[in-house]
Every structure is written in C-alpha cells, then in structure tokens.
Structure 1
Amino acid sequence: MNTKYKYKVFIVDDEPISIQLISNIIKMYCPEIEIVGSADNVLKCLEKLKTCEADILISDIRMPGLSGIDLISKVKQLYPDILNIFVSGYREFEYAKAAMKLDVEDYLLKPIVPSELKKTIHKVEEKLDILFQKKRTAILYEREQLENDNLEKYFPHEKYYVAIIRKNGLPKRFIGKIQDSIFKNKYNMVMNGRDVMESFYLVPEEVVSNGNIRQIMKNTYIRESQNAGYTTMILSKNPYYARELGNIYRTLCKMLDFYLVIGKSQILYLEDCEDSVQNTLSIRGEVSKLEWLLENKKIEQAKAEIICLGNKFRNADVTQRETEKAINLILVLMNQHVDEFSWNIQNEVAMDEILCGATNINDIFMELSNLLNHAELKNKEEKLDSSEFIQKVKEYIVNHLSEDLSLKNTSKKFGISQTYLGQLFNKYQKVSFSNYVIEMRIQRAKELLDNDKEILIKDVAKSVGYQDQFYFSRVFRSMTGITPTDYINKGEN
C-alpha cells in the first residue's frame, strides 16, 4: 500500500498531441501527480469520470460540440471536490473570462510552457492539501461519513496506533474553537485536538516494530513536554482500522477528561484506562469545615483551610474534573457567606483560564484563598478597572514575548490576582489573556519572517516564547492556516 496518496489528474482536449504534451510535462516535472485518464470530448470525459477518480481536471476550452466551459459547469455539479484548470489558444480570451467566473484554478495559454504548468500544478496541490486536511478532520470528528473504499484516499494505511497528548489542564470551556489542522511528519499524522495545547497522533501499524508504540511516542512526549508544567499522554496498545478512528478520537478525549490530574505528568494506555478506577474524595465532606468557617466569618482560618484542601487534593491525585467540582462548591459557599464577594460570568471565564494554564493544584487553591481578600482589595482593584491599565499590561506583553507570559506570572508582576486580571482582559479586550498572548506572538513571528527570509524557524520560535519549534509551527498554522515554511515561501512568490 502506498504511504502517500498521489493526487490524480484527468486531461481533456480534442487534439491528441496536446494531451500527450501535457502528460509528458506532468510526468517530467510533477512526478508526484498520477495521470488517471484522458478524453477528446466532453461526453467521453463525463462518462470516464464515473469510474475514474480525479482530483484535478485539465481541459481545453474550445472543443467540437460541448465546450470546456460546459464541461466544468457540469463537473462542479457532479464532482465539487475536483479542482479545474483551463488551457486555450490566444484568440479565445472571452472564453477565459467566462472560465474565471466558474472559479477555475488557472487559465494557461497554448502552447503550454512547462514551467507555467508546473507552477500551476503545485499551486493546486497546495489547495488540495488544505482540502484534504479539512476532510480528514471532518472524518475524525465524524462531521462526514465515507465508504471504506474512499477512506484510503485520506488515510492511506490500513491500521493506526493512536495517541493524544495534552499540555497542562483541560480545554477552556469559554474559548472558541481553534482552526482544525492536520499535517504530516516522517511517520505519522498529527492533528490539533480541541485546542493547540492538545495533539492527536496517528502512527501507521507498519512503522511500529513489535507493537512498541510507547517507545516511538516517547521522544514525542518529551518534546511536547517542553514549556509545559505537566503533560498527559494516552496511547493505544493496539492498532485500529481507519473506519474506527472517529470513535477512538472521541474515546481518547473522554479518557483524557476523566484521568487528567492537575500538576501530574502521566503516560497511560487507552485499554487500561477503560478498566481502571480514578481516585476520588467526598467533596461535600472535605469542605464541611471550610463551610463552617465561612458561616462564622473566620476568614483567615478559612483561607488557611483552602490551602490545606489544595494539599489534600494534590496528595490524593484527584482529577481535574473532580477538582473543578470542589472549586465550584467552594465558590458557591464563598458567595453565600462572604460579604462583598460576588461571582459572575466574567469571574467564571477567568477561573476557567486559570484551570487550563495552572501547572500545579496548589496555585489554584492559593488563588481561591486570595479571593477572600476581595473586600480588602476591592478599592485597589477598582482603580485598575480601566482601559489605561489594560494598555499597560498589553505593552508589557508585547515587550516580553520571549519570556514566560503565563497569567500567573503576569498578574504577580502587576500585583493583581489572576482571576481579576483575566476578568479585566475579557472585559476590555473581548478575548482571553492567553489567546491575546498567542495572537501577539504569532504577529511578531510573522514580522520576523517578513523582515528576514534567511532566519531559522527555531530562532523565530524562541524569539516569541516557544522553545519547541514543532509546537510553534502547530500554533502558527492554527492561527494563520499555513505553516511558517509555507508563509515564507508564499512571501517569496
């Protein structure tokens, strides 16, 4: 079985010599393209396309009987995924204008210049790559169903081992979906998970010797762990058929949600997770003492008790989902019993970001403890509730893009709680703190790539705060739609 799908081209021209010329150019200059057929008129082409799968159609415009324009109009109805290229003589410019209205990929004049056809084919390949990425993602998310025969086009191997790797906490609930992205390295396919902190790997069965997927993924796990407080990986012991990948992806996400422990790096097997039992605490029982302290306004003791709860949760390896339940209950109790304390959706968004970015559970419970200072700090924080203050924070971010710009470190720099800084950022910028940092980093990266075509991508990554070049490339692609390398090449064209 081929390890890489070859894009397929079909050629239509009433002149056999033209078909031969185009075929020879493709074979010589675009060997990665497969010629799957040809026809000398529109009706023959439509008949052959019923059984001949094509990704690219190259057609003359003017032919006896139905024209190339008639052909493309019909092809767009019957085979909307096919990308079309027109070729024609100098005297048929009006045909060319009509062709442009059909949204064809390019229009080439006869006699065909090899370099021009090569350039056009490569441009169409890039567009097909993007379309294939979207299709693979749709299949994995089960937004689209395909017959088994068509799966090979998008997943060329029969079986895959799978793995999901998550940096830090679970995805934020209040942040919009980041653009889907699938791309390949030497052995496998990698897809952004629910955000750029999560990766989904597909490793072909034939590259895994003796079924040792853990050994293959070990270096990947180490690399993904760079710049992360902790990392969780769940991988399969067994390979799965391509038709099963959608279900397996969703199962991995559920298992990750079920087993991720804040601050604890883990490597788990999917098959083991399905049979194991997670550690839990009686949340209501654990917070009963805190509830009594809050009811009786013993604020300092309550703050200390929250810290103790954090230690207890850490020592018991309580999962993030269980920890969130405890945090929500604590916030409810604080809202009920503490004067001057109120909890709203902006606070909820801010706490959501803290949970996602926290590198250990003690930081989260320390933040909860600090919230009890709300009444004491209220006047100070109200002075910071201004666009001028947020502008200062933004300037700090832009001037320190190569440094650790976590919400925790930045809030400490400005003497403000993480929750309140996150709340202010959402209020004035209409975007989360972490997403703003990503936007600024990618904007700076684009500027560096624009100004120096010889700069190494790894140097750009470090300049904007990413020690892992591979992770930087994934974030860059999620934000821009293309890789840093493609961005450079696009600028040179």
Structure 2
Amino acid sequence: MLNILIADDENKVCQLIKSLVDWEALDMRVIATAENGIEALEKIRELTPDIAITDIRMPGYDGLELVRLAKETNPRTEFIIISGYRHFEYAQSAIRYGVNSYLLKPIKKDELTDTLTRLGEKLRERTRQLSYEEKVLRTLKSDEETLRQTFLSDLVYRRDKTLKTASLDRINEDFHYGLRPGNFCFGILKLDGHVFDDMENLRFMADKVRGVMDRLLPECTFDYELLVAGSFFYFLLNFEESMRSQVRRQMKALFDEVRIQGGILKDFAATLSLGTVCGGLDGLDSSLKNARLLIEERLVAGTGKLLEGELPQKGSFADSALFAEFNSRMSQALESLDVLSVREALQQLKSQMLASPGITGHELLQMTKEVCNLYLFFMKNYRIRIEDDFLENYNLGADNCASAQELFDYLIRKIAASYDMAARLKRQDENRPVRVAKQYISEHYATALTLEEVSAVAGLSPAYLATVFKKDTGMTFLEYVSKVRMDMAKQLLKETSCTVADICEKVGYSDVRYFTKTFTKYSGLKPNEYRKLYS
C-alpha cells in the first residue's frame, strides 16, 4: 500500500482531498496532513511518503520550495502540485524539479483519481511490487499499445495503403483495436509557442492530453487512439452515428481542458480541428486531409479555436502573375549577392500575400515552402553552397508558426541567414584567385612579373584576373606590383645599408633612373632623402 501526505494551509482543503478519493480502491492511504510548508517538510523527512499532494502557495515553504528541499533528502517521493495560479514561472519550476502532475483548482475528482492511479503504477513498477501476473499483463499492454500506435502512425503518414481497404476484423486482430462499423474521423490538436522548444513542456502537455482523453472519450466512442508527433496530436475516433454530437461535445470539452492546463505555460496556444466524418476506413484519408487543412487555417483564423467544416477550394497562388513577378525579382536579388535586396523581395511578397483577400492558411504555408524551393533551385543552379538540411529545418519550423505574420517573419529570417552565409562564402571563393595572385606577387616581386604568368598561377584568364583584381584592390595589376615593390624598397632603405642600385635590383628593377623616378612619385621623396629622414 502506498502512503500519501496532503499539505495545504486550509484544513478544509486537506479534508476535501481526503474525501474525494477512494483510497482503498487505489491501494493507498493518507498517513498525514500538514498546514504549512515547514510542517510538511518535517513529516516528509520523518514519514517518507510515496506521494505528497501540496498546494503551490503555503506559509513557511511554498509548494515549489517544499518539492526542492524534500527531493534533496527523499528523491523517491512523487509530488502532485495543486494551484489556483496559472503562472509560467510556477509551472516551469515544477517541471524542472521533475513534477509532471500539476492540477489546477477547483480540483476534479476524476482528474485527481486518474493522476494518483498513474503515479501509483509508476511507483509500484519502480519498487518492483508487481506480481508476476501483473508484469506479464503490463508487458502485453505495452505490446498492444505499440501495435495500436503503429497502425495509427501508418494511417497518418500513409505508409501502408492497404490499411484503408482492410476489414475491421483484420485491423482489430492485428493491431488490438476494438473498431466497429459506424463513423470514423480524424482530429488534430496543435500546440504552438516557443515554450515547446523545451521537450519537458511538450511531454508535460502530452501527459495531460492523454489523461483528459481517457476520461472523456470512452463513453461516447467504440474506440479511440492518440498519436503524438512533436506538437501535433492526432486523434482517431470511431463512434456510432447517434453519438456524433456527443463526440463533438467531448472533444470540445477536451480542448477546453487542454487550454486551461496549458494556461500555466508562457506563450501557450492551442488549436483543435475535427476532420470530416466518414463511414469507413477508406474515408479516413479525406478526413485527415480536411483536419490538416483546418489546422493550417489557424494561420489566418487565429489560434485558440475549434475548427471544423469544409474549406473552399482555391487556385494556386504559385501560378499567379503576382508570384511570377516575385520569381523574377527574387532571382535578380539572389544574383546580386546582396542580402538586403533579398530581404526587400521577401518583404514585398509578404505584404502582397497578407493583403490577398480570401487567402487560406494552406496557401500561405505552401507558398512559403514554394519560395524555399525557388531559393534552393537558384542556389544550386548558380553552384552556391547552402546547408544540406535547409528545407527540412524550414518545414519543421514553419509547421510550428501560429500566425501568417510569424510564418513570413520566420521565412525571411531563415532565408536571409542562409543566404548571408552563402554569399560570404561565395565572395570568398571568388576572391580566392586574387588572394593567390597577391601571395605569388609578394613572393616573386623581385622577378620580371607579367599578368600572364600570375594569371596562370591563379587559374584564370589574364583578362578576367585583371578585372577581378581591379575590383578587389582598386588598382590595376601593374599598379599593385609597383606598390609591393615600393613598400619593400622603403623597408630596405630604412633597415639596411644597401646602395640604391642594390635595392633597385632587389625589388625587381633593372634601371636605377626609372626606379628612382617611380619611388619619388610613390613616396614624395628620392630614395636617399627617404633614407636620411627615416633610417
């Protein structure tokens, strides 16, 4: 039997919790109550309860401080946090301390019982209190859940096209479902917000969704299953026609509870879509497609809504004259190797699309992906290297944008960052022959250098090297060679006692008079005058 401690600064709340639960049925017992954090910590250290149920706000130590201190001495105690406060900081701290059981007031009997049941199973498994028969049943249940998840995953990702034509008997036997003739449909719950960049928060919400689902759906469905794919939650629902309205009400109630639970997380948003109802497995593709289109519609309609019904079919924006103009403008911008021009082209497309009347969320999402394809095509065509996983990473991020504004800002930020890096690398590649030429000149300035000789070393034609050399240095090839020779002559005049004739030869000149004339023009002083002034 598992031991329970209840802590709340109001004794009547402690008594309420004690009376809400059938402790004997859960194989649990309440061994103590506490009315402040200090008393609760002393009893946890003395009695080492398996589960402590505590309010978030108490005198002495608050609930989070109690969890932290108790975990230091008794890390095996599991905590259920109860709060009337929906503050991000509380939830984040609780999750960071390993508390995934976070209940909001007013406390619901079913939710508390379900939470205690799951914690009880976790603790018994951990302490090896399960009998052999219970272990066998748990293994079978795990295998059954794996098969059920496999079936739903194959439907969602269309891996096995034979499933939609398979008989219900075969599905039930092979995948451990309890499907019956009647109605089928897909629902999708989408969670949005940067708070879900932290996988602990996503696991926290997944646990909440499963708990609410298991309370609300059994009585109105033949069978149901949930597949969690990142921040997308796919529901498969099977029910009789007479329960259609009840299923919708329960899914709406599920959505409302999820929004309340998610309210403890910062910048949390949720949207639920219900796909079209069909009369068999063969109609689930259409139901799933409809649910996906509806979820994408949150980009336009906003989050926090239950979306259902058919969306009007529209033409492709990619085939429009507007996109053709953008295509031309974007290509010119990309060719310029100027990230500002690329940003301006994307900003203009953003303004035009967001102002387009009646545009759907699906069109917006697909258009941004089409822009990414255009970007990839151009960069490949011009042999400009970018990240191998650019498109994959973009698609993942785009699916998690909750509004059209956020989607386009993400598109612009993603392409601009990628292009800026690629352009810098491209410019470096283009400048490489110039760098090679400069290095060769610095090593061979004392010889009779020619443009043809240096261009052969750099791997370019003399004419093209002359062009890129002038663009990079602002000087012609001969002007640059002369500068290198004059700089070396200055150094030799200052640091050695070599004669002007010797220096003339050392820096690549054979005529002292020409060397002297060139040096005087370059430095404003004759060689001997320069030596007297600077040596």
* TM-score, normalisation: structure 2: 0.37
Of structures 1 and 2, the larger Rg is shown by 2
Question: Whose helix proportion is higher, 1 or 2?
Answer: 2
* TM-score, normalisation: structure 1: 0.40
